[in-house]
Structure 1
Amino acid sequence: MQERDQARHEVERAHLMSDVRGFLSVLRRVPNDLLPFDWVKHLAPEGEHQLGVQSIDVNRIIGSVDRYREFDRHYLPRERHLDERWIGVRAAQLQGKELPPIQVYEVGGRYFVKDGNHRVSVARRQGQKYIDANVIRLQVQVPLDGTESLKDIIIKGEYARFLKLTRLDELVPHHRPILFTTPGRYDKLLDHIRTRQYYLDRKPGRAGQEPVTWEEAVVSWYNRLYRRITDNIEEHDVMLRFPGRTEADLYLWIMDHRYFLTQRSGQDVGSEEATVDFSQRYAPPIYQRVGQRFRLLLGGKLSAT
């Protein structure tokens, strides 16, 4: 009974910590929920592989198959009517009993619990770094970091489709990540690649040659268009002027601006001039940038800048 009394005391402290974290998440306007496994469908997993029992990092567990409402993002318990299950797991642990491995899905380097949510909650509360798990891997092309919203997952799913269609990982190993802050943008990149393919096919001196392949167009688009603009963005510190945006966001805006400048001047202005002019014309005022950076800092997403 002594073990159960201690476990009961610990679950009460866990609930208190859960309430505090919930209050802070409201103030900071950041999510404090586990990710539902159902969201994984947006990443279009292509295969399922049994990896067997292995030791996994508890802190890389970010979601649950069917109990994501019962715990917060730190796996602190929320539902008091389930306390007896938490107490039973902790009491068994205090008695030195060996607990069976949990069951998880691995998706993009993170884990979703299929069975054993209370064991994970107790482990997290005790500061346990690793836990034995029977792992089922779902093959996806983009990693997860555990902070994603549904919108983020949808965008990453679109990115996975883009990588599959372009084979960019294979054609340009170690390329810069291409991530947007808004869904529906990767189709625009595919249009850019198709336009690039059309342009390359009609360059002077290509008469009688084999048509430019899709793969050649992808590599040329990345190296000659996308990478040039992102290099200009980096060289001129443009990211600092647009907090919360990504290189990919700016790439599309700058390409549109380049087209506008070219139409106005009657000649191609080039990527660098378009980048600098866009930054000077459309960067938010300093007070707005400071406010945005402050909101990003409170939300734990300052790295997005």
Structure 2
Amino acid sequence: MAHRILYERSQAAFSRVYHLGRRDTNLLSRLLGQDNRILTLLEVLQAVQPGGESSLGIQDIRVEDIIGSESKGDDFSRDFYPRKPWMAGRWTTIHHLMSQGTLDQAISVFELGGRYFVRDGHHRVSVAKAIGRVFITAEVRSIALPYGIEADTDRNMLAVLAGKDHFHSKTGMFHFVRDQEFRVQRRDTWSWLEREICDFNRQYFIRRFGRQPKSMEEQITGWYKNLYRNAMDYIHHNSLAYLFPGYDETDVFVEMIRFWNGFDQPDDLWLGDMYRQFVARHSIKNPLAALIHRGRRFFRQLAQSPEDEFRLFLRVSQIPDLYPEAPLLPHEPGVYRLCYQQLIGRTAQVLQQHLGRAPYIHELTELWYHRYYKPMALFCLTRESPKEQSGLFLRMSRRWFVPVITGTRDIQEILPDQ
């Protein structure tokens, strides 16, 4: 009796996942231009330039990292739901055995870019996903790829994957920067990134340093450190993706760069001013998305911890690289948020007026650090407790930061004798 009940549950489970698989690949999805059948390894290999093949032996792999099949692209949906009614008998039997824990035969898979494609064991994978298994044992053969494949990659994302492969072949980007730093949903983003690096940024490098970059590595690492990483911090911190439905954060970055390059003299526009103009323009174009963006930004900043504020400030200011011995204030609420605002706000305005052009981040940090932060931090650190130190810095900054950074007062005039 118990055996029959369990078997009926397996039949009901098949009915449920079969319905989901058919629904995900129905006529409506095809009319909308979506191919939601399971991704095949052959399709991926046609979109990328793989390396050699090797054996990794038997190992436990994460079920969620299995995203495709070697060849059975018509039998399952993209979530490994069965699409054929004749699969019911075998699927139900395997569901019954796996639910009982009596089926542990290893499947066979290919690994490519950190994801897996099933060679043998499709029904076991389908059942494992249906019952919520985290790991499954597999015999793994690996095909080399110099970057990772995203977990949500399906047939509809193949053009994006092909763009990523072409981008890497032209720039060698992922030899120097982790590909996880790039979050892309739109197919033309990779081609625009290639143009940004190989054209606009190369010209910028020559204008700034008066020479050609010594290597692609020098150009890329400078671009990543001084522009891309800071812009992505801003996009993430301010939830800008909510202004662009269907975009991921690197897609937003490309839109931002296209906006910036549209100015007659983009070098004269400080990055912070460009951010504000960019957000203002797209908020007007999409008021509903702007409302969601503002709400998301508010709650994200509300939930930001002092440690988060500190890490963001360090990345933007490049303090660890420029001044590794810098005196650091306690990680109390509001301290490093204020430092960030000081740096990209009034300090940027002062330096831009002085230079007659947009300042570089190392120039901003140098002025802010020597004129204001270092002497003020050393003074505040003479207090005993972290709360006293941070409280004094916040109070002194509210009164004296603007006069000191604009040069109307010298910091040594306002600090009491220690």
Offset, 1:259: 3.0
Structure 2: which 5+ runs fail to align? 294-418
Query: Could you say which residue in structure 2 is the equivalent of 1:50?
Result: 55
Q: Distance in 2 between matches of 1:237 and 1:94?
A: 42
Question: Which secondary structure state, in structure 2, belongs to the residue aligned with residue 261 of structure 1?
Answer: coil
Contact 2:11 2:92 in 1 (8 A): no
The one-letter amino acid paired with 2:142 is: R
Q: Distance in 2 between matches of 1:221 and 1:96?
A: 52
Query: Could you say which residue in structure 2 is the equivalent of 1:184?
Result: 188
Offset, 1:50: 0.9
Offset, 1:125: 4.3
State which of 242, 247, 255 in structure 1 corresponds to 2:244: 242
Structure 1: which 5+ runs fail to align? 293-305
The one-letter amino acid paired with 1:12 is: Q
Offset, 1:199: 4.3
Offset, 1:232: 4.2
Question: Which secondary structure state, in structure 1, belongs to the residue aligned with residue 12 of structure 2?
Answer: helix
The root-mean-square deviation of aligned C-alpha atoms, in Å, is: 3.9
Q: Distance in 2 between matches of 1:94 and 1:236?
A: 45
Q: Distance in 2 between matches of 1:200 and 1:40?
A: 36
Query: Could you say which residue in structure 2 is the equivalent of 1:118?
Result: 123
Count of aligned pairs: 285
**Structure 1 residues 169 and 280, CA gap change in structure 2 (3 angstroms):** same
Contact 1:104 1:113 in 2 (8 A): yes
Superposed CA deviations along residues 147-168 of structure 1, whole A, max 9, x for unmatched, are 2233423313322442344333
Contact 2:67 2:154 in 1 (8 A): no
Superposed CA deviations along residues 180-231 of structure 1, whole A, max 9, x for unmatched, are 332133233233323333443455765xxx8633222222222333334334
Q: Distance in 2 between matches of 1:12 and 1:169?
A: 47
Structure 2 matches for 1:201-216, cutoff 5 A?
A: 201=206, 212-216=214-218
Query: Could you say which residue in structure 1 is the equivalent of 2:393?
Result: none
**Percent of aligned pairs sharing the same letter:** 26
Offset, 1:250: 2.5
The one-letter amino acid paired with 1:270 is: W
Q: Distance in 1 between matches of 2:225 and 2:73?
A: 42
**What is the TM-score with the length of structure 1 in the denominator?**
0.73
Superposed CA deviations along residues 60-95 of structure 1, whole A, max 9, x for unmatched, are 322212223323344343322233333554577699
State which of 65, 75, 80 in structure 1 corresponds to 2:80: 75
Contact 1:7 1:87 in 2 (8 A): no
Superposed CA deviations along residues 88-126 of structure 1, whole A, max 9, x for unmatched, are 545776998766422111222222111121233344445
**Structure 1 residues 147 and 199, CA gap change in structure 2 (3 angstroms):** closer
Offset, 1:23: 7.6
The one-letter amino acid paired with 2:158 is: I
Contact 1:33 1:68 in 2 (8 A): yes
Q: Distance in 2 between matches of 1:255 and 1:96?
A: 54
Q: Distance in 2 between matches of 1:273 and 1:95?
A: 62
Structure 2 matches for 1:69-218, cutoff 5 A?
A: 69-87=74-92, 89=94, 100-172=105-177, 177-195=181-199, 196-201=201-206, 212-218=214-220
- Tell me which of the two structures has the higher relative contact order, counting C-alpha pairs closer than 8 angstroms and 6 or more residues apart: 1
Structure 2 matches for 1:242-281, cutoff 5 A?
A: 242-262=244-264, 268-281=268-281
Contact 2:184 2:250 in 1 (8 A): yes
Offset, 1:53: 1.7
